[in-house]
Amino acid sequence: METNVFKTTPFKHQLKAFELGYNQKVYAYFMEMGTGKTKVAIDNANYLFEKKLITDVIVLAPNSVYTNWVREIEAHSKNKPDIFIWKTHNLKKLEKYKYDKFFFLLMNIESLSRDKGVKFLKQQLAKRGRQTMLIVDESTTIKNKGAKRTRQLCQIGGMAKYRRILTGSPVTKNPLDLYTQCEFLSKDCLGFNSFYTFRNRYAVLREIHLGTHSTKIPVKFINIPELEQRLKLFSFRCTKQDCLDLPPKLHLIREIQMTDEQKKIYNKLKKEARAIIEDEEVSYTNKLTEIIKLHQVTCGFTKTDSGEIISFKTNPKLEELKSILEETSGKSIIWANYVYNIKEIIEMLEETYGKESVVSIYGAISVDARKEAVERFQTDDRCKFLVGNPSVGGYGLTLTASRNVIYFSNSYNLEHRDQSEDRAHRIGQTAKVTYIDLLVPDTIDQLVLDSLNNKRDLSKEILGDNIKRYFD
């Protein structure tokens, strides 16, 4: 295998993934978060471009993920492709592009729920003369066979010469999740012409009656070793624990875009805060208050002067957290800086996974209750999530049952961050730990995380000149 295709040297498991799939028309990278599936896909695309087998790449990914591809492409693509991010308001700009060099087009997969997005994708694929690599990132977004975007994508997929799906957890509920993800690649992959014949092969069904209607639901799954063997023919699977060459701590960022409602409130508060931040006579406490107001908006709520909490119709951070938890395996710790978010997260987890799945530790929880929560998290297989405030994730807590630590929002205190990270990564931990920060870029989220990453106290940031660039 030629190695000059790589801009950045792959780990051994990434090289293996590349070598197995690089020349295949259809392929699936079932690689756990943090193992580098995006890099492998980018390396694969560069190889095919250099061999003149493709002219471009179209990436379909969830709203919160697709912009992360910009950073990954710039880091790993040796051919310096042009990068376009599809948005309805800049279609004319894209239409004027001459398409005379290698490029990536990034689209949010949600756009395929609308006729405009579907029409645009079809037009782009038709223009390329079937020389496109089409990638679906986080392919569980097309697991629902009845969803419009799933139906559209399975029909459109064949217009692309090469097709790839990427996900860390292709099965989120049961093996039937696999069918439409693989159908996008090709119906020949699994060897079934319909979902129903696939279901009948791998599931035992029971008929239930709902009023005048009846339906069949799976009660047991069968022939799973056979299904696994079929998948191996066109996929590469690896978990963090399989990758002996990975570092013991992995730090990832998931970028989130605010809703229009959030942006409106955030920009209003930012304008008010700018004058206070720039006033040298204003105290640290008053400046911190303005930062907290902005931080709360990126976290999905705001407060009135009387202290009343006003939540936004949609909280993109909460939606992204749901997506991350679908991708990850093993137990997870979720740290959030505000009690409102902690309660919101707990409610979501209980509704989705059941009350036995979650415990919590934060200021309102007694010391004895916290000890009990930690014990359950460490020993009870039913308990998958611990939700808490980083300020209580300090000395004395052992949370080594966790493989994932998610920062819904960060504390401003560097010690809180360091101590909360160390709860999972300490003596007794035998697994690699992934740390994921949910970040709204170019906002106060960035200020807080930059300060923590640079091992600086936020108080020094607030009283210095560096902070002013976050309010431009």
Residue 70 lies in a domain: yes
Residue 331 covered by a domain:
yes
Does residue 366 belong to any structural domain of this protein?
A: yes
CATH number of residue 321's parent domain: 3.40.50.300
Per the structure, how many domains does the chain have?
2
Give the pLDDT of residue 2: 56
Among 27-41, 171-185, 343-357, 385-399, where is mean pLDDT lowest? 385-399
Looking up tokens 């990453």, which residue turns up?
A: 453
Beta strands (DSSP E) in 26-131 are: 26-31, 56-61, 82-85, 103-108
Q: 319 with 448, same domain?
A: yes
Last residue of a domain, one of 183, 213, 242: 242
Based on the fold, state whether residues 347 and 399 are members of the same structural domain.
yes
Residues 253 and 197 grouped into a single domain? no
Q: What is the per-residue pLDDT for 130?
A: 62
Residue 140: which domain range?
12-242
In terms of domains, do 443 and 324 share one? yes
pLDDT at 200 over 80: yes
**Same domain (yes/no): 383, 453:** yes
Whether pLDDT at 179 is above 60 = yes
The CATH number of the domain holding residue 63 is 3.40.50.10810
d(CA 467, CA 460): 9
Q: Is residue 290 part of a domain?
A: no
DSSP string, 385-439: EEEE-GGGS-TT---TTEEEEEESS--S-HHHHHHHHHTTSSTT--S-EEEEEEE
Region of 429 (left: φ > 0; alpha: ψ -120 to 50; beta: rest) is beta
Work out the average pLDDT over 13-36. 94
253 lies in the same domain as 178? no
- Residue 315: which pLDDT band, with cuts at 50, 70 and 90? very high
Model pLDDT for residues 217-241, shown as the tens digit of each residue? 888 999 999 999 999 999 999 987 7
- What are the residues facing 164 on neighbouring strands? 27, 135
56: which strand partners? 103, 132
Give every CB contact of residue 117 below 8 A, 6+ residues apart in sequence.
86, 107, 110, 111
- 3-state class (DSSP) for residue 30: strand
Do 41 and 187 fall within a single domain?
yes
* Beta strands, E only, 132-248: 132-137, 162-167, 203-210, 213-221, 235-238
> Mean of the pLDDT values across residues 8-19?
94
pLDDT number for residue 399: 86
Portion of the chain with pLDDT greater than 90, in percent: 55
| Mean pLDDT over each residue of the chain, to the nearest integer | 88
Query: Does pLDDT of 296 surpass 80?
Result: yes
More confident residue, 90 or 78: 78
Residue 348 belongs to some domain of the structure: yes
State how far the Cα of 25 lies from the Cα of 429, in Å rounded to an integer. 40
The answer as to whether 93 is a domain residue is yes
Percent helix, percent strand, percent coil in the chain, to nearest 5: 45, 20, 35
Whether 62 is in a domain gets the answer yes
At CB < 8 A and 24+ separation, what contacts does 371-375 make?
374/398, 374/399
298 located within any domain: no
Phi and psi at residue 311, to the nearest 5°: -90, 150
With the CA atoms of 431, 435, 436 and 439 taken in that order, what torsion angle do they form, in degrees rounded to the nearest 10? Answer: 180
